Amino acid sequence: MTIRVDLLTDPAEIMQLPCATNAARAGPAARATAGAYGRLSFSCGGRGGARWVMSSVAPQVALRLKSVFPRLDKAETGRFTFEDSPIVCADLDWFLSRYRMDMTAEDRRRLTRERRRFEASRAEFERILLPEWRPAVHTALRADKRAFAFQEKAIEIAVRMRRLLVLDEGGMGKTITGTGIMVKAGLFPAAVVVQAHLATQWAERIAEFSTLRVYVIDGTRPYDLPEADVYVFRYSNIAGWVDIAGQGVFRVVLFDEIQELRRGGDAQKGKAGKVFVRNAAIRVGLTATPIYNYGDEMFNIVEYIEPGALGSVWEFRREWCHAVGQHWVVKEPDALGMHLREQTITIRRTYDDAEVKAELGDALPKPNRIVVDVPYDEEVEQDELALCRALAIQVTTGSFTESGQAARDLDARLRRITGMAKARHVAAYVRLLLAGGDPVLLAGWHRDVYEVWLRELAAFSPVLYTGSETPAQKDKNKAAFIAGRSRVMMISLRSGSGLDGLQKVCNTLVVGELDWSPQVIDQLVWRLRRLGQQRWPVDAHILHANGGADPVMAGVLGLKAFQSRGITDPLAGPEIVVRDQSRLKLLAQRFLETTEGRT
């Protein structure tokens, strides 16, 4: 039987190759023949599904095998199992070139076939990425619209490989890339899953760049849907539509800001997302910041694009991570980033890429990041000093359960106190910037802090874009800011992902409260540093106080930035690494030291 391997075929279909049952293939246990170091056989039964089994492995070869395949359990001896995927088959074939194994002719053909499939897929991926590559036919967007060449490449790869995680830097038009993928694939209807505040924006952009009919899903309860090519869901409502998705209705599934699924199946939206991808022909994720905290979040994200590509969660942790406190940290982020690229799972372009610059010129200069020290009002802290010290002592001396709850309470209280202790000074700094005539995007987190800013900046008609406003209110406030009816838009630290349009009128960001994740600040910068910016460069003012939670947060951000940078940009230069020793204990210890004798 001849099996044709076609890059345009769904990988799930390619894997349905014929194989004998375990019972038919099982025979008396046999030792390896003379000159062989063991036996390698294919098994398509059992709980683990299709697997390769290496048995009767010579001890010295087993040691070498474990060094080549770190995912293997170090305690295993003699018998090892491997997932049946093209990249694993390629690695096994390479290993067998040094250590010969007994195999049946059928298994040998299968291993060779899968290795060639991997090589062909990788070669095609690399060919498309060559600077001179151009599509045979450009993506059929509206007559007055076109995709840039770097966007066409992502479109082509996603359609050919049937899955892709697009990690392009913020502001480079991932919405256009996603729209192009749906147009070129021609598999309808498609489902686009977005953050709640971006549903209207996505519908408008799809309509602007294509002739696809778009409908935004309203609510969590299924109802009769009007006919459309693209249905836009929110992460907050996909759980209610799993029965529809489970029927295979949506042929293309595209997750915008896929970091929303970084917790995997622990959340309802994560469980629902898995139903959507299991029943789709093409799976796409879009984000510039896949990791908000530590690198092991990448495992969950990859599971939505190419399930099983990194093994089980424990295989991933054994191969790629080490424990730091209660977190799993990727040991070599650069290596993981290269591994995902080698598997043609991820693609990442930045404004500094020569090819991007050739198309855009110097249209997107780097932002000015200005770190400003502002005063810290200790009298604000004094009101809750006794309670905070009691919590800090419990964090550093209590049991695991007690210290964990106390740490969360202390974190929440200290961050709010820190925001309040510098709120008036942040507002004063913003007034200085507004005196120059330009509008300001002001980022914060706590409602109490917003209230201070609203009062201090009332003369500038401030509007809010936070977690408290409905999507309709957010759209109204955004429109007021763009139209000039407001000169200050206060945005929640974690409401910025994907937001477009502000760059038309604003090039000044002020971060008035810090976040534990550096990617949150990156996302805010990218709201302004993006195609369509009218006044370069973008100025990002990060306001930091030498009190409360700010000093510890600034330090911990170092390790998290290192984790994300290595995975998304494996070829980028090194950055300073700050070793994490459990952020909340650091916060508690520093608070006790700085407030000693003040109660």
C-alpha distances (whole Å) from 477 to each of 32, 99, 482, 530 are 72, 66, 9, 20
Distance CA 451, CA 416 (A): 13
Residue corresponding to tokens 């066409």: 152
Distance CA 583, CA 599 (A): 24
Report pLDDT digits (tens) over 293-337: 777 889 999 999 999 899 889 889 988 988 877 778 888 888 898
One DSSP character per residue, 288-343 reads S---SS-TTHHHHHHHHHSTTTT-SHHHHHHHHEEEETTEEEES-HHHHHHHHHHT
Nearest one of 298, 307, 292, 291 to 253, comparing CA atoms: 307
pLDDT for the residue 413: 82
Distance CA 222, CA 247 (A): 13
The tokens describing 106, both together, are 């059928």
The one-letter code for the residue type at 240 is G
pLDDT for the residue 83: 87
Sequence ranges of the chain with CATH classification 3.40.50.300:
368-595
CA 50 to chain centre: 29
CATH class of this structure's domain 130-360: alpha beta
pLDDT for the residue 23: 36
- Classify domain 368-595 at the CATH topology level: Rossmann fold (3.40.50)
Distance CA 342, CA 299 (A): 16
In 3-state terms, what secondary structure has residue 374? strand
Can you list the residues of the chain whose pLDDT is less than 70?
1-32, 45-48, 362-363, 383-388, 390-392, 394-395, 397-407, 556-567, 569-592, 594-599
Report pLDDT digits (tens) over 52-96: 999 999 999 999 999 888 888 888 888 999 988 888 999 999 999
Output phi, psi for 158, to 5 deg: -60, -40
Q: What is the pTM of this model?
A: 0.75
Nearest one of 499, 563, 550 to 371, comparing CA atoms: 550
Nearest one of 225, 228, 235, 185 to 203, comparing CA atoms: 228
pLDDT for the residue 46: 60
Sequence ranges of the chain with CATH classification 3.40.50.10810:
130-360
For the chain, what's the residue count?
A: 599
**Cβ–Cβ < 8 Å for 270, 281:** no
Q: Please give the helix or strand (H or E) that residue 80 lies within, else none.
A: strand 80-83
Nearest one of 494, 529, 525, 497 to 510, comparing CA atoms: 525
Distance CA 497, CA 289 (A): 9
